Structure 1
Amino acid sequence: MIEVTEKAAVELKTLLEQEGKPGLALRVFVAGVACSGVQYGLALDDEVKEDDVTVESNGIKLVMAKDIEKSFSEGNIDYVEDENGKGFMIRNLGAGGGCGTCGGGCH
């Protein structure tokens, strides 16, 4: 199950308010495959499709395809700020939670 951390929830609520769209959901989608496995993306969305799963975490509505929800046995969406910048990060802890051993500096 994907959870939104408190820090990410605060940032998302602020973003939605600034955009004047507090009713939008956060869609989680497959963005591609890299050396560390499936890479996920995030987008604001106002459409829920017939085969979508909708969950709520820390006041944020999450929407995703059923197959994505099944692949997240344990994970979260966090907001990080460091020397590389700031932004939202998806961690799929059920899939190893990290880069693995590709040797190429996965990000």
Structure 2
Amino acid sequence: MIEITDSALKEIREIQRNEKMEDHGLRIYTAGMSCNGLRYGLSLVDVKMKNDAVFDSKGLNIYVEDGLEGEKGGFIIDYIDDEHTKGFTIERIDGCESECSKT
């Protein structure tokens, strides 16, 4: 299961419009390791990789790197913009969190 918050969807749609990438989907991939385990990254892509799992959340195509789709219940993608943080967060449903800054 992939859940995307309204604030994340709004920011993604704005990036898609600004970059003329309205037809692109969002890809979740392994971005490395940290002391807490895997770190996840996000990117807008025009085609999915061969073995990516495909999901739809609120009308947005989401491609999940092969092997990650089985991550304990899925992911919640959020966007935070406050005095301490600005960027997307990717939280595994089981409670572990990874952050990636907006680029």
| TM-score band w.r.t. shorter chain | 0.7 to 0.9
Equivalent in the alignment of 1:97:
96
* TM-score normalized with structure 1 length: 0.82
Q: How many residues align?
A: 98
Task: Name the larger-Rg structure.
Answer: 1
Q: Is the 8 A contact 1:4 1:60 kept in 2?
A: no
Question: Separation in 2 of the partners of 1:72 and 1:13?
Answer: 27
Equivalent in the alignment of 1:9:
9
The root-mean-square deviation of aligned C-alpha atoms, in Å, is: 1.7
Question: Separation in 2 of the partners of 1:6 and 1:65?
Answer: 23
For structure 1, the 5+ residue unaligned runs are 100-107
Question: Separation in 1 of the partners of 2:73 and 2:52?
Answer: 17
Matched, 1:29 2:29: yes
Equivalent in the alignment of 1:77:
77
Equivalent in the alignment of 1:88:
88
* Higher share in helix: 1
> Which amino acid letter does the alignment assign opposite residue 79 of structure 2?
Y
Regions of 4+ moved over 3 Å: none
Identity rate, percent: 33
* TM-score normalized with structure 2 length: 0.85
